[in-house]
Structure 1
Amino acid sequence: MAKTLYSATMSLDGFIAGAGGDMSWLKPYFGPNPEADGLVDRIGSLLIGRRTFDGDDPNKGTEQEGAFSGAWSGPSFVLTHRPPAEPVPGMTFVGDVVSGVAAARAAAGDRYVNILGAETARSCLDAGLLDEVLVFIVPVLLGDGTRLFERPGGDNVRLERISVGQAPVATSIWMRVLPA
């Protein structure tokens, strides 16, 4: 069965998007990263939060627009209570995290369901449906924006390190979510 993986690039102070959802801060950190580059082949489907789906793409209008700088092509599920009136090619809209993860897992086969979006990742975590977290930490302090995980009043979540890696533009930490 497919595992769920939340992967994101994060500033050293814990933000994955700048103020107002700005993603342009990422551009200086695009570059060779063997772990990130190899991840796409390990993904079988995406589970995307609505804000991420509607959000800022630092590659908008270029050949690299889309998930993983345009390298992703495959089943994509958008978690939302507000599906668009018109169908969006290549996207399936799901109304709740449990059915969304189930559909994405079925589509992923034995590969990862990659989660895109902080709120969606938190929902998966809260529902006990998040298996792993991969964070690419880049050398910048944003000071404001969307945090990797925001759980006010939340309890501790235990993690186990799977691997740590370094590339010219980022340090990666891959963790397994441990049962409570």
Structure 2
Amino acid sequence: MAKLLYSATMSLDGFIAGPGGDMSWLTEFIGPNPAADALVGEVGSILVGRRSFGGDDPHRGTEGEGKAFGGGWAGPQFVLTHNPPAEPVPGVAFVNDFEEAVEAARTAAGEKVVNIIGADVARQCIEAGWLDEVAVFIAPVLLGDGVRLFDHPGGATVKLRRIDEGSAPLANYVRFSVLR
């Protein structure tokens, strides 16, 4: 069964998006990164939240705009939402049930990983006990506000074990398995 992997680039102070979902801060940190390239090669499908799917794009104004990983990956995408768009989006399935979305993404991924994009979908996977790994690219910037990598009002402890790490000119990399 395909693993569920939450991946994101995060500011040093823990934000994956700036205030209002702003992703423009990320643009200067997109560039050559062997760990990111390797991670993209592991992805068999994507499970993404509606806000992330329809949100700001750090590739805006480039030929990678609107494409997964800026065009570095193509394959089945599943958007978890109660409000699908009126018009279909090629290669994208809109699913309103969390368990159905996870199962569809796992089936589509085959032996590869399901890449989770979006803090809320990742939180739901953690709460369900289904998240297997977390990969974080840490950008050398402080945003001060925005969307946190993991936010659970009232607190929640999720224990992790580091399984990989590396550095690149634009962002360091750490990968963890989720301990159950």
Range into which the TM-score falls when normalised by the shorter chain? over 0.9
Instruction: Give the alignment of 1:69-148 within 5 angstroms.
Output: 69-148=70-149
- 1:43-88 superposed Cα distances (whole Å, 9 cap, x missing partner): 0000010000110012124212222121110000000011122211
Tell me by how many angstroms 1:115 deviates.
0.5
- What is residue 26 of structure 1 aligned with on the other side? 26
> Tell me, what secondary structure is at the counterpart of 1:143?
coil
* Ranges in structure 1 where 5+ consecutive residues have no aligned partner: none
Give the structure 2 partner of residue 11 of structure 1: 11
Amino acid across the alignment from 2:35: E
Q: CA deviation at 1:155?
A: 2.3
CA contact (8 A) 1:101 1:129 kept: no
Mapped partners of 2:68, 2:143: distance in 1 = 22
Q: Distance in 2 between matches of 1:162 and 1:83?
A: 36
Residues in 1 aligned to 2:153 and 2:106: alpha-carbon distance in whole angstroms? 29
1:80–1:94 CA contact under 8 A, matched in 2 = yes
Structure 1 residue 153 corresponds to structure 2 residue 146: no
Q: Determine what percentage of the aligned residue pairs are the same residue.
A: 65
Q: What is the TM-score with the length of structure 1 in the denominator?
A: 0.96
Q: Distance in 1 between matches of 2:165 and 2:59?
A: 27
State the SS of the aligned residue for 2:37: helix
Q: Tell me, what secondary structure is at the counterpart of 2:10?
A: strand
**TM-score if structure 2 supplies the norm length?**
0.96
Q: CA deviation at 1:96?
A: 2.1
CA RMSD of aligned residues (A): 0.9
Q: CA deviation at 1:154?
A: 3.1
Q: Distance in 2 between matches of 1:44 and 1:176?
A: 18
SS of 1:77's equivalent?
strand
Q: For 2:68, what is the secondary structure of its paired residue?
A: coil
Tell me the equivalent position of 1:54: 54
Asked if the contact 1:133/1:175 (under 8 Å) is kept, the reply is: yes
